[in-house]
Amino acid sequence: MNKVVKDADEAIHDIADGMTLMIGGFGMCGLPEKCIAALVKKGVKELTCISNNAGLDDFGIGLMLNQRQVKKMISSYVGENVEFERQLLSGELEVELIPQGTLATRCMAAGYGMPAIFTPAGIGTEVAIGKEVRNFNGKDYLMEMAFDADFAIVKAWKGDTMGNLIFNATARNFNAVMAMAGKVTIAEVEELVQPGELDPNFIHVPGIYVHRIFQGENYEKRIENRTVTKR
């Protein structure tokens, strides 16, 4: 059950044009920055990216947008990226904006083997257009389908060679749910350890969901909004 690959290049070697990728992280927090850099280097195109945000102009998925590698983004909030907005308004980029909880739960459904979920989010709004509405106990819910992604790419704090993952603080965010949702899941970790070194009681994602794992070096871990209290 050794899932270890050498590096990001090897981990993403078979990601091809036109595929659908889940990319973990919330803003810059918990971003799989090594795999994104490898995807930029590889230059695969026509990608559909499922990710809560679309990166900054010079970091994260923004780097892939700059190279026109992304055909479609499925996200909940994209307000931090000028190039993204330009491509969207000019029609070069297709964008599906969906509620953040819907995004997370459609990932969860994929990882839990459920074809669809029902959520009240978006009822009465343009998000509901064309979707099945069901009424349960007097309240309307939208049926939202589980995602179907070729690859899920996530970043964890620690992982072992069997693919068991532990996340740090709020870098867990979408990483934990997306890790469970890809047909193939790639995990990049800050620290790769041997089986037995992680306490089984504190595993966030069991290795059964993870297909490839590697340790990344020199994480930049950019901070988007540095807010501090005066001492």
Partner 1 sequence: MLDKNGIAKRIAREIKDGYYVNLGIGIPTLVANYIPENIDVVLQSENGLLGMGPFPFEGDEDPDLINAGKQTITMLPGAAIFDSAMSFGMIRAKKVNLTILGAMEVSENGDIANWKIPGKMVKGMGGAMDLVASAENIIVAMQHVNKAGESKLLPQCTLPLTGISCVKKIVTELAVLDVLPEGGFKLLERAPGVSVEEIKKATAGKLIIEGDIPEMTI
Strands 133-136, 139-145: pairing is: antiparallel
In whole angstroms, what is the distance from residue 218 CA to residue 175 CA? 19
Report the residue from 194, 196, 199, 228 that binds partner 1 according to the rule CB under 8 A. Answer: 228
62 binds partner 1 (CB under 8 A): no
Four-point Cα dihedral 52, 57, 60, 65, nearest 10: 80
In whole angstroms, what is the distance from residue 191 CA to residue 180 CA? 20
Q: Do residues 142 and 116 make contact, with C-beta atoms less than 8 angstroms apart?
A: no
In whole angstroms, what is the distance from residue 182 CA to residue 20 CA? 10
Size of the site for partner 1 (CB under 8 A): 60
- Using the rule CB under 8 A, give the single segment among 7-15, 62-70, 166-174, 191-199 that binds partner 1: 166-174
Nearer to partner 1 among residue 16 and residue 116 (C-beta): 116
Nearer to partner 1 among residue 4 and residue 37 (C-beta): 37
Residue among 6, 12, 27 at smallest CA distance from 174: 27
Nearer to partner 1 among residue 72 and residue 204 (C-beta): 204
Nearer to partner 1 among residue 63 and residue 103 (C-beta): 103
Report the residue from 88, 156, 166, 192 that binds partner 1 according to the rule CB under 8 A. Answer: 88
85 binds partner 1 (CB under 8 A): yes
Residue among 83, 8, 108, 93 at smallest CA distance from 47: 93
Q: Which residues of 82-99 are buried (b: 16+ CB within 10 A; e: fewer)?
A: ebbeebbeeeebeeeebb
18-37 residues in contact with partner 1 (CB under 8 A) are 26-30
Nearer to partner 1 among residue 12 and residue 24 (C-beta): 24
97-156 residues in contact with partner 1 (CB under 8 A) are 97-105, 107-108, 119-127
Q: How far apart are the first and last CA of the chain?
A: 49
188-227 residues in contact with partner 1 (CB under 8 A) are 204, 221-227
Least distance from C-beta 178 to partner 1, angstroms?
9
In whole angstroms, what is the distance from residue 198 CA to residue 161 CA? 11
Least distance from C-beta 78 to partner 1, angstroms?
5
- What is the binding site for partner 1 (CB under 8 A)? 26-30, 52, 75-80, 85, 88-89, 95, 97-105, 107-108, 119-127, 157, 167-177, 204, 221-231
